[in-house]
Structure 1
Amino acid sequence: MRSGQFRRVIVAEFVSSIGTQMTTLALPWFVLMTTGSPARMGLVFVVQILPVPLLSMPAGLLVARWGARRVSIVGDAVGAVLIATVPTLYLAGALPFWALLVIVALLGCIASAYLPSQRMLLVETLGSDERIVTAANALFETATSTARLVGPAAAGFLIAGFGPLHVLWVDAATFALSAVLLLGLPHRKRTPEPISASKMAEGLSFVLRDPVLKRMSLAAFGYGLLMPVVLLALPVMAKTRYDSDPHVVGWLMAAWGGGTAVGTVVVARLAGRIPPVHFAACGGVGAAVMLWLLPWDQPAVTAALTIGACCMFLPGVTAPAVALLTLRPPADLRPHVIPLFGAAVFVASPLAYGTAGVLFEHLAVAAVLAAVAAGATLCALVLLSLVRHPAAGPRGASRRGAEDGAANGTTR
């Protein structure tokens, strides 16, 4: 992981994530200020995220056909053009709302292939040792988590000083820079796979047959349903427990991001010494214990510490899950398994957000958080069942790397 190639991948992810997080704030603000309609602002969000679960499985076919490096570079380049199109058309007086929706829908289509290609790029760069890829995924998440802290703050500063259009220019530049960084990766010889819809079915079948991937995916889907509820609970807690103090919301949100960032660093440091399934079990148990503390009334400081500790444990689940989902399938099925996982997570999150809003309308926040803690406990039990499972042993680079070399014709 000290290689220049891996550093290029991490820097490219950090740069593009900074721009994406800036646009996440700037684009809704731009829509709200130019249209005056919160409903239109919400529609932009829906149109951009909807293609991801709908196209994730066909996107796996594209990654298998082109390779992760090419898909990532093309995604960055096209993303830069699309983002730059918004301020260009607006300044030319040629940006009706329907055209903006088309642009953000195309951005969502790119994301459906770009997200799995980024994970596959780690395997192409580092090889197939589960512990190394787990650590690499943790560092990858560190870059993304840090961008979530830096990007919105930078966007707020730039919007206040220069307006949202200039932030979109910056995002376009970050996409272009990411593409340039990835162009520096060596081109890998590969035999293109024929595009076949049967590969998607084979990928799904493999996940359902593999006892480790099946349970890991079930737990990950559970966290995808539960954690958005906790996130939406933070402003409700600030209102009902802490006298509607907006500063408390900021502290709780900062604790969420800070705990996640710390957790990814810890996983990256320890992944080489702990098997992925053991790491996931420890992370699941730790997160469940912390979540059981949230329903109780407590000072804002301890609530923030509890949230930070919970989020610190969660990368111990997500990084091993992504590593195992990337490496356990045969090389020809890997591009089709990660999109399945991404589709499940992207479907789970909107369901959770919609359900949470209704729950907080009719139930006390403590009751909802207790239910979340119970669900997290079930997820932890699923992960604990993998610790002694005979199929959960580590798969090192010696065997898996040979498979990859044979499948892809890899030369170093």
Structure 2
Amino acid sequence: MTTATAVPRSPLRSGQFRRVVAAEFISSVGTQMTTLALPWFVLTTSGSPARMGLVFLIQILPVPLLSMPAGLLVARWGARRVTVVGDVCNAALSAAVPALYLADMLPFWALAVIVALFGCVASAYLSAQRMLLTETIGSDEGLVTAGNALFETATSTARLVGPAIAGFLIARFDALDVLWLDAVSFAVSAALLTGLPRRAPAPQAPPAHNMAEGVRYLVRDPVLRTMSLAVLGYGTLMPVVMLALPVLARTRYDADPHVAGWLLAAWGGGTALGTVAVARIARRVPPVRLAAAGGLGAALLLWFLPWDQPVTTLALTVAAGCMFLPGVTAPAVALMTLRPPEHLRPHVVPVFGAVVFVASPVAYGVAGLLFEQLAVGTVLTAVAVLASLCALLLLGLARRPGTR
């Protein structure tokens, strides 16, 4: 008599994983709508790219500044609890902007405060999301890389859908009206994650010891150190490209919000296609080699952005370049969450997040000033040069003996 052997179900097909990805997609759609609506509101009302860049800077700045205490919070509360509380806070903040605007109580300083609070929440929210994802699928390197790629698929698909919807709504209603939908999306995300089972926290060493060890581990490990430097480069350059898209819509394409929406949608659509490809090959290609290939492809496509071209070809160029970005981000996140010892992971991941985000506030602020002083094509050419250097760094890591 032959007994059939049950095939274990992949964690990527579990209900918990699907709920985490669904929550990410829904909240990201609202966030990506706001990513267009809020800077478009600032740009069209003030006419200043520098002020638009300042809004991005204020939102991102708390992330690197608060990453260390955020790691302690995630370690103490757990990833699920931090993510749910973050969703609730983000829903309240999103609703506060249009509510205050309707009450004629939204001066620029008040908007800046709300945007800064978004950044404070994100300092713990972003790393908690990644830890929650790892908790649902285990510690297999290939599975975690594939899971991160699918997670990025949800995020990048939202980047495709969100800006396009926002451009449509902004043209017919008002930019700040879009934030009501962002608030709803965070509320739905919190509801999806509320029922997930809690995971008992790993035994923790004293917090100060763990934070110091997390930094030391990241610096000592050659793979994580080199990967962090490369991701730092892309974390500096890609915000400049994103900020350039509404500027291009305003200066080259008759200040059409539809164009701005479609360019940001092309960014998300290309990234979505890239994440699907990464999810399919992640278990066959070592993470370091995958990151090198992704970095090289993205750098090559960035050289086509400075050209003065029809909006259709520009959107295709943006989409093609962004197809390669998940090849860098998914392996980097997988390595950061799996290479350190388990008790250090809640502290190494926020340190890595700080590395990624530390350059973003500077990039947004400087980019806004550059776009006021220089032609957008000149700035984008400099971005392509620096991205090529980051790709060479990853290629050197992939050729190093003993790396995976």
TM more than 0.5: yes
**CA deviation map 1:183-229 (0-9, x unaligned):** 22222223563662332221111111001001111111111222334
1:354 & 1:380 partners in 2: Cα distance? 24
Which of 242, 267, 270 aligns to 2:278? It is 267
Q: Which residue of 1 aligns with 2:179?
A: 168
**CA deviation map 1:103-158 (0-9, x unaligned):** 44333211110011001111111111122111111111121122122223334445
2:223–2:397 CA contact under 8 A, matched in 1: yes
Q: Which residue of 2 aligns with 1:278?
A: 289
2:202–2:342 CA contact under 8 A, matched in 1: no
For structure 2, list consecutive stretches of 5 or more residues without a partner in the other structure.
1-11
Matches within 5 A, 1:66-145: 66-86=77-97, 101-145=112-156
Which of 335, 350, 364 aligns to 1:324? It is 335
**CA deviation map 1:295-322 (0-9, x unaligned):** 5676665554433322111211111111
Q: Is 2:63 the partner of 1:52?
A: yes
Which of 249, 257, 274 aligns to 2:268? It is 257
Mean CA deviation greater in 334-343 or 76-85? 76-85
1:64–1:192 CA contact under 8 A, matched in 2: no
Q: Which residue of 2 aligns with 1:8?
A: 19
Q: Which residue of 2 aligns with 1:208?
A: 219
Give the superposed CA RMSD. Answer: 3.5
In structure 1, what residue type is equivalent to 2:198?
A: H
1:130 & 1:46 partners in 2: Cα distance? 34
1:375 & 1:36 partners in 2: Cα distance? 31
Mean CA deviation greater in 204-213 or 370-379? 370-379
Q: Which residue of 2 aligns with 1:396?
A: none
1:333 & 1:362 partners in 2: Cα distance? 44
Q: Residues 114 and 236 of structure 1: is their aligned pair in 2 closer, same or farther, counting only changes over 3 Å? A: closer
**CA deviation map 1:208-263 (0-9, x unaligned):** 100100111111111122233444555777799x7869687666544433222211
- Offset of 1:5 from its aligned partner? 0.7
- Offset of 1:6 from its aligned partner? 0.6
1:180 & 1:360 partners in 2: Cα distance? 41
Q: Is 2:366 the partner of 1:337?
A: no
Matches within 5 A, 1:184-203: 184-191=195-202, 193=204, 196-203=207-214
Q: Is 2:192 the partner of 1:181?
A: yes
- SS state of the match for residue 342, structure 2? coil
- Offset of 1:277 from its aligned partner? 0.9
Mean CA deviation greater in 359-368 or 313-322? 359-368
Q: Residues 384 and 292 of structure 1: is their aligned pair in 2 closer, same or farther, counting only changes over 3 Å? A: same
1:53–1:342 CA contact under 8 A, matched in 2: yes
Mean CA deviation greater in 149-158 or 51-60? 149-158
**CA deviation map 1:237-294 (0-9, x unaligned):** 7799x78696876665444332222111111121122111111111122223323445
1:301 & 1:211 partners in 2: Cα distance? 42
In structure 2, what residue type is equivalent to 1:179?
A: A
In structure 1, what residue type is equivalent to 2:129?
A: Q
User: Number of matched residues?
Assistant: 391
2:267–2:318 CA contact under 8 A, matched in 1: yes
Mean CA deviation greater in 266-275 or 81-90? 81-90
1:163 & 1:365 partners in 2: Cα distance? 27
- SS state of the match for residue 177, structure 1? helix
- Offset of 1:182 from its aligned partner? 0.9
- SS state of the match for residue 387, structure 1? helix
In structure 2, what residue type is equivalent to 1:384?
A: L
2:163–2:262 CA contact under 8 A, matched in 1: no
Matches within 5 A, 1:11-50: 11-27=22-38, 45-50=56-61
- Offset of 1:87 from its aligned partner? 5.0
Q: Residues 40 and 198 of structure 1: is their aligned pair in 2 closer, same or farther, counting only changes over 3 Å? A: same
Q: Which residue of 2 aligns with 1:410?
A: none
TM-score, normalised to structure 1, is 0.81
- SS state of the match for residue 386, structure 1? helix
Mean CA deviation greater in 170-179 or 95-104? 95-104
Q: Residues 248 and 104 of structure 1: is their aligned pair in 2 closer, same or farther, counting only changes over 3 Å? A: closer
In structure 2, what residue type is equivalent to 1:310?
A: G
In structure 2, what residue type is equivalent to 1:263?
A: G
1:148 & 1:320 partners in 2: Cα distance? 20
2:232 & 2:61 partners in 1: Cα distance? 18
In structure 2, what residue type is equivalent to 1:206?
A: Y
Q: Is 2:384 the partner of 1:373?
A: yes
Q: Residues 244 and 170 of structure 1: is their aligned pair in 2 closer, same or farther, counting only changes over 3 Å? A: closer
In structure 1, what residue type is equivalent to 2:400?
A: H
1:330 & 1:266 partners in 2: Cα distance? 29
For structure 1, list consecutive stretches of 5 or more residues without a partner in the other structure.
394-412
- Offset of 1:163 from its aligned partner? 5.1
